[in-house]
Structure 1
Amino acid sequence: MSNPETEGSTAEYNPKAAAMSGWIGSALEYYDFALYSQAAALVFPTIFFPTDNATVALISSLATYAVGYVSRPIGAVVLGAWGDRRGRKSVLTFAMLLMGFATLAVGLLPTYGQVGILAPIMLVTLRVVQGFAVAGELGGATAMIVEHSPDGKRGFFASFSLQGTQVGSILATAIMLPMATFLSDEHFESWGWRVPFLLSSVVIIAGYIIRQRVQEPPSYLEQQAANQKREFPVVELFRSHLGIALRCMIMTFTNVVGMVTLVFGITYATAEGYGIEYSKSTTLWVTLVANVTAVFTIPLFGALSDRIGRKKLMIAGGLGGGIGSVGYLWAVSQQNLVLIFASVILVHGVLFQMWNATYAAFFQEQFPTRIRVTGFALSQNVGLAIAAFFPSIFAAVAPPGGDHIVLTIGVTAVVICVAGALAAVFSGETMGKSLSDLDGPSPTTPIDEKPVTV
């Protein structure tokens, strides 16, 4: 695909290559991130924290899951500015390598029984590094895809990066599952859980090769020189796009659907004291089926968003997923595996993916090219930093042995999803608009240039 505005440049628009790079990169990076969430629910409470109080250990482990999200806004500011001013390609390479090294290190950590309080301190430190790194991945990858794609197919191509995140989760589950199934609890907790983390060494190698082969989009290259001279991207974001960023942040809370189904839901089904006590392998199968379904539905909804608009899917998917999460928790409480699998396919694999497949293009299109990575990354990651504490809050307000667990968690999820849907209602539809229209006139004079007066 050529563009007259970049005639004479060696850069070309290549949406397929950008989508493939985003898909592979997101799959590899979210493999790392998904491993942690599974281990935090299945094994970390017993090996990295004192076990005198099971509830405290559980809440502490889920809190370390949340800590990774707390560091993401910092990563969004730093890596977002890097991506907006120095290039999408370099920041994506750095983010993936950093994530790979941090995850490999988790697999080498000593346990609480070996080094005491130092074990959870090291675990939290590495989780912070993970969160910092992942903050630059999806923002940079989807910005690159959007800027390479034709106006009428941005939703479809951008959805492949989100599909990659699901594939990463599938890979994490597919490797963790046989460890939990075929090993005894003693062997799984002593060394089996470490194997998937150690395999992250593959990410370090593959990440560098993949990121070196993708090229910057021409529409970004046209502005890069001027962007390096402008004010810091987060300053312009707060000055001229704060309302948009806040709405995107609130829409991000819709991730509570995934947290109810695949984070707290696993804890609810397996933790001692809730009275259900499914095996670890059973809940990993539930996670696997949900993510496999999402792999197929994401590109369908991404393409649909190019035909009927982003907002309709954002609203319907968020509200439907929130309401459906009540049914999913009820199915778990009934200990009915058929209902559990059916409800997780509907809630996480279909309804939530209406939102999940659409939000990347929708968020990216809310911000101009010069601050696109920062705008997406900061609003998404601040939202996720808040939302990541939902599982710990759920465990605190509905602890093992508590009453009305399904109703308490379910109603909370619905209320949060309503807030996200309202934020989408008050956001502008972006389907089909050109990037130049979305950019609008630049409001900022480069900092080393003075306006000419007559």
Structure 2
Amino acid sequence: MSVPAMPSGPAAPPGQPGKAATAAWIGSALEYYDFFIYGSAAALIFPKVFFDESDPATATLLSLATFGVAYAARPVGALVLGHFGDKLGRKKIMVFTLMLMGLSTFLIGCLPTRDQVGGLAPVLLVLCRVLQGISAAGEQASANSMTLEHAPPGRRGFFTSFTLSGTQGGQLLATLVFIPVAALPEDQLLSWGWRLPFWLSVAVAVVGWVIRRKLDETPAFAQQAEEGVVKLPLVILLREHWADVLRVIAGALIASVSTIFTVWALAYATSDAVGMSRTAMLWVGALANVVALAAIPLWATLSDRIGRRPVFLIGAAGSAVTMFLYLWAVSTGSYPLTFLTGIVCFGVVYSAANGVWPAFYGEMFTTRVRLSGVAIGTQIGFAAAGFAVTFAARIAGPGGDDWSGVALFTAALCVPPVLAALSARETHRIPTESLGERGGLGAAQPEKVTA
């Protein structure tokens, strides 16, 4: 159904949409390089460095739990950073989150081990992981709002997808860095080798600051600031958009596919139960992410033509099936099957949901609460997805080899995203200035309060 023409909102300066997309891509890549090297280390290194090796299964479980700690911190970060992002602007939050992520990741590389300081070591690790989670909470929502509000009409899906293709780029970079590190002799790997990827985050902070400090604020937010920003965006969000916040929470559970694929499947494949090579499994992730870099903008462009809902549904429902095939392939120990199903599952099918959600979620909200709505909704859902790895480790049993139980668990987590998409409005043809309005495209705006 076509949408009546609406008056155009404030236009972005020439070239600014591309600049915003590039800044979102590079910033997200650098940010999530930091975030994902922790996932690889939690699966391969930290059980032996920060936890008691006398019980390898328990050590792995505790290490994977620290991976989930960042996801628990993310809703808190979303509340704070979403509030200030809707009051002070997208750019300030984008710069702050990148600097915080770089610092916390560098500090992880400097931490003493369990052999050096005992129980204090995992405590310090968790504190740094919490800072990573707070940073990540504001990163995607601010970059997503920035690109959506700069994007030209009819191409919001394509431009916002740069945020997620940047995330996949960061995951690819993290994997490529860890491949030579994982190939080090065991004694070198556990003594100093694992620290190198974390120390590289100094470059993350410098490069990110240079890129993002030159970016203009969005025209939509600038106009909103002139008219008067709301004093408490969270109050407006929960009063007028509570149903959409719930949809975003449910939809964000699709990230469980990523965490299970990236962390639990890696730990399972390299365990004694399967015995696959660490290097080979890291290459599975690397190649899947290469494919995702191409697939994400293609799926997003398709959503600009046919809508967000059908593309998201393909990714959510398809991931439930293909994740089962991937974990089965891993259980066989077959490298060709594992590579093929990993690329199809994570590189192609999951990319449909992953590439379209920045536009899909962002278009549910008005400019005055967009960053809060996307940040809070996604980070609550992502928190559950982060701890999916810990639950998967428990479901896999003492031997860690019940892959079918983990596959069914992952499929169950794909059901809420499907229901969220089925209940959502289609928004791809609605003008940017009318997004999130109730009572029709011409609905009156509630009174704004100047901060």
TM-score category (smaller protein): over 0.9
2:96 is matched with which residue? Answer: 94
1:192 is matched with which residue? Answer: 193
d(CA) in 2 for partners of 1:53, 1:226: 61
Task: State the AA in 2 paired with 1:388.
Answer: G
SS of 2:154's equivalent in the other structure is helix
d(CA) in 1 for partners of 2:389, 2:179: 22
Q: 1:402 to 1:133 in 2, by over 3 A?
A: closer
- Does 1:151 find its partner at 2:159? no
1:5 positional shift? 5.6
1:442 positional shift? 5.9
1:278 positional shift? 1.7
d(CA) in 2 for partners of 1:151, 1:11: 14
**8 A Cα contact 1:13 1:217, kept in partner:** no
**8 A Cα contact 1:77 1:378, kept in partner:** yes
d(CA) in 2 for partners of 1:187, 1:226: 59
d(CA) in 1 for partners of 2:369, 2:33: 28
1:351 is aligned, of 341, 349, 359, to: 349
- Does 1:18 find its partner at 2:20? yes
Task: State the AA in 2 paired with 1:264.
Answer: W
d(CA) in 2 for partners of 1:105, 1:448: 39
Q: 1:444 to 1:177 in 2, by over 3 A?
A: same
1:400 positional shift? 4.3
Task: State the AA in 1 paired with 2:72.
Answer: V
1:226 positional shift? 4.0
1:294 is matched with which residue? Answer: 292
1:448 positional shift? 6.0
2:269 is matched with which residue? Answer: 269
d(CA) in 1 for partners of 2:427, 2:9: 22
1:446 positional shift? 3.3
2:182 is matched with which residue? Answer: 180
1:234 is matched with which residue? Answer: 234
1:29 is matched with which residue? Answer: 31
Aligned counterparts, 1:30-179, within 5 A: 30-179=32-181
1:202 is matched with which residue? Answer: 203
Task: State the AA in 2 paired with 1:193.
Answer: W
d(CA) in 2 for partners of 1:252, 1:443: 28
1:51 positional shift? 1.6
1:384 is matched with which residue? Answer: 382
Residue by residue over 1:86-124, the C-alpha shift from the partner in whole angstroms, topping out at 9 and shown as x without a partner, is 011111101100110000000000000100111000000
**8 A Cα contact 1:12 1:218, kept in partner:** no
Task: State the AA in 2 paired with 1:276.
Answer: V
d(CA) in 2 for partners of 1:127, 1:112: 16
d(CA) in 1 for partners of 2:76, 2:236: 17
d(CA) in 2 for partners of 1:448, 1:161: 30
Task: State the AA in 2 paired with 1:266.
Answer: L
Aligned counterparts, 1:315-334, within 5 A: 315-334=313-332
1:284 is matched with which residue? Answer: 282
1:12 positional shift? 6.0
1:262 positional shift? 1.7
d(CA) in 2 for partners of 1:257, 1:394: 11
Q: 1:60 to 1:367 in 2, by over 3 A?
A: same
1:254 is matched with which residue? Answer: 254
Residue by residue over 1:227-259, the C-alpha shift from the partner in whole angstroms, topping out at 9 and shown as x without a partner, is 43x231111111111111111111111112222
Task: State the AA in 2 paired with 1:424.
Answer: A
Residue by residue over 1:166-212, the C-alpha shift from the partner in whole angstroms, topping out at 9 and shown as x without a partner, is 1111111111111112x101111111111111011001111111111
Q: 1:442 to 1:370 in 2, by over 3 A?
A: farther
**8 A Cα contact 2:260 2:389, kept in partner:** yes
1:11 positional shift? 5.7
SS of 1:136's equivalent in the other structure is helix
State percent identity of aligned pairs: 40
Task: State the AA in 1 paired with 2:69.
Answer: V
- Does 1:432 find its partner at 2:429? yes
SS of 1:285's equivalent in the other structure is helix
d(CA) in 2 for partners of 1:22, 1:73: 21
d(CA) in 2 for partners of 1:37, 1:233: 33
Structure 1: gaps spanning 5 or more residues: 450-454
SS of 1:414's equivalent in the other structure is helix
**8 A Cα contact 2:8 2:433, kept in partner:** no
2:337 is matched with which residue? Answer: 339
Decide which moves more: 433-442 or 76-85. 433-442
Q: 1:98 to 1:423 in 2, by over 3 A?
A: same
d(CA) in 1 for partners of 2:217, 2:434: 20
1:225 positional shift? 3.8
**8 A Cα contact 1:13 1:218, kept in partner:** no
d(CA) in 2 for partners of 1:57, 1:354: 35
Q: 1:239 to 1:290 in 2, by over 3 A?
A: same
2:412 is matched with which residue? Answer: 415
d(CA) in 2 for partners of 1:295, 1:400: 36
1:419 positional shift? 2.1
**8 A Cα contact 2:102 2:204, kept in partner:** yes
d(CA) in 2 for partners of 1:444, 1:400: 56
Aligned residues: 440
Structure 2: gaps spanning 5 or more residues: 1-6, 438-442
Query: CA RMSD of the aligned region, Å?
Result: 1.7
1:364 is matched with which residue? Answer: 362
d(CA) in 2 for partners of 1:355, 1:102: 29
**8 A Cα contact 1:76 1:377, kept in partner:** yes
SS of 1:389's equivalent in the other structure is helix
**8 A Cα contact 1:306 1:431, kept in partner:** yes
d(CA) in 2 for partners of 1:98, 1:124: 15
Q: Could you state the TM-score of these two structures normalised by the residue count of structure 1? A: 0.94
